[in-house]
Amino acid sequence: MAAAPTPTLAKAVLARLSADDQKTVNTWRWHDRLVSLWAPVTVLAILFAVYLTIVETAVCTYLWLQPLMQGVGLLCFAWWAVLLVVRTPVAKKWNDARDARYRAEEILTEVEATAQRARKHLKDKAWDDVVAACEGQVRAFGKPAEEVRAATRVLEQTWDKHLKAHKGGLLDLGGGFVRALAIALAFRAVLLDPFKIPSGSMIPTLELGDQIFVNKFIYGVRLPFTNNVPFVIVRPPKRGDVIVFNNPVRQEVDYIKRVVGVAGDSLEFTDEGLVINGKLAERTSENEQYRFWEHNEVQVTSLEGLKYWVSTWRDDDWVDRPEGLYRETFDGVPHLVLDEPGRRRSTLDKMTQGTSTKVPEGSVFVMGDNRNNSADSRFGLGVTQGFEFVPYGSIKGKATVIWFSLSHGGFLSSLFGGTGIRYDRFFTPVTMCGDEKPRK
């Protein structure tokens, strides 16, 4: 008959506890998880992931889900703020006990990992000592800080006596950090990446200071250190998508624009608007006197640049500008653009390579929603003269949702040069539903 498998240290400790004792230990462990400063952040992140999945699948759900998500965000911030307050001397006794349990959990985790690694070297007496010390530690949960620390000292002494010789090397010590770093890098490389809107070229869809997430897998994951996408995961880019991409003619810079033409499309730029494959893009006027705010976004590359950047947070340099606001539609999906007939004619006159083109295979043609103030495919992507297309391999992903916004107006804007927290923009999808009320 085969010998029964040796129980893990955690199971051996639990076997010595009554059902009530186990319930008490679990209650305190959950308590400590919920009072961690990471708890509200984790809860909000999980709910945001669910929200993002829903609105990317059915965008119109955001019309009623966004207010709920904004309310949850405020609750999580209040939760985090309260936890921050109780870490001050106002709750010293509670805080000391929490710190003691936190240290105890660290030791228990290390002891369990080492005991399992060294189990075949531990004789029965040594194993019983380790189990008893761990049992004493978990039974101390919920008691005053000094009792928890006393149990921790016993556990540390048992560690020194029976397990110190079996502790892991540098690789084991750094294993947790390496694993966390690998997960974070993989997440950014394959799933979502944050991106800050650096200019006003995508107003009114995206404003200066908006922070968005980029879906990096929808079009296919690029091979590391290359601009090659071996296969499409969900679908290729389509007209109307807002994409983030490496500028193919200035690859150290990332741009964000809207796809207006895909492979094979014939495009023509006229006084009436954009013509795609011989058909004028559907467009309706939403507000002929729309006003928006913009300012110069400063890239800090020198001491003078740093001084100017600091000054923008002290002095209000936002400028109020007028422009015609239109609702344009590609393949049944609407988006907003800024345009004005007089400026449109001036923009057409600046196009050095004519006013028509055809999109080559494996590429897209992009434009900013601020049609007369955008260095896009019409203007060499801000680098060359004439048309420039964006190859699929240069596309980093599709813009999804605004998760944070520091833009004109909003909370604390009077203190920081007109720039404030625009909570009304939090959790706004980049893709429109079509049922939104007209902007005023």
The C-alpha atoms of residue 415 and residue 180 are separated, in whole angstroms, by 38
Contacts of 91 (CB under 8 A, 6+ apart): none
Contact call for residues 402 and 423 (beta carbons, < 8 A): no
Query: Whole-angstrom Cα distance, residue 384 to residue 248?
Result: 11
Longest dimension (CA), the chain: 91
Question: Which of 225, 133, 69, 418 lies closest to 61, judged by CA?
Answer: 69
Catalytic site residue from 257, 377, 396, 413: 257
User: Token pair of 417, please?
Assistant: 């040069």
User: Is 201 annotated as catalytic?
Assistant: yes
Q: Cα–Cα distances in Å, from 141 out to 104, 134, 136, 144, 343?
A: 9, 11, 9, 8, 70
- In the chain, the N- to C-terminal Cα span, in Å, equals 81
Give the per-residue SS3 of 387-417. Answer: CCCEEHHHEEEEEEEEEEEEEEECECCCCCC
Q: String of b and e for 239-271 (b: at least 16 CB within 10 Å)?
A: bbbbbbbbbbeeeeebbbbbbbbbbebebbbee
Angle between helices 62-86 and 38-57 (to 10 degrees): 170
**Residue 266 annotated among the catalytic residues of the structure:** no
C-alpha distances (whole Å) from 316 to each of 150, 309, 319, 420 are: 58, 12, 9, 11
Contact 213, 192 (CB under 8 A): yes
Bridge partners of residue 90, in order along the sequence: none
Using alpha carbons, select from 338, 76, 359 the residue that is nearest to residue 200: 338
d(CA 203, CA 195): 16
Instruction: Single out the catalytic residue among 143, 167, 196, 201.
Output: 201
H/E element, 47:
helix 38-57
Is there a contact between 193 and 214 (Cβ–Cβ < 8 Å)?
yes
DSSP secondary structure letter of residue 200:
S
Q: How many Cβ atoms are within 10 Å of 383's Cβ, its own excluded?
A: 13
CA distance 25 to 141: 6
Please tell me the total number of residues recorded for the chain in this structure: 440
Q: Which residues are catalytic?
A: 201, 257
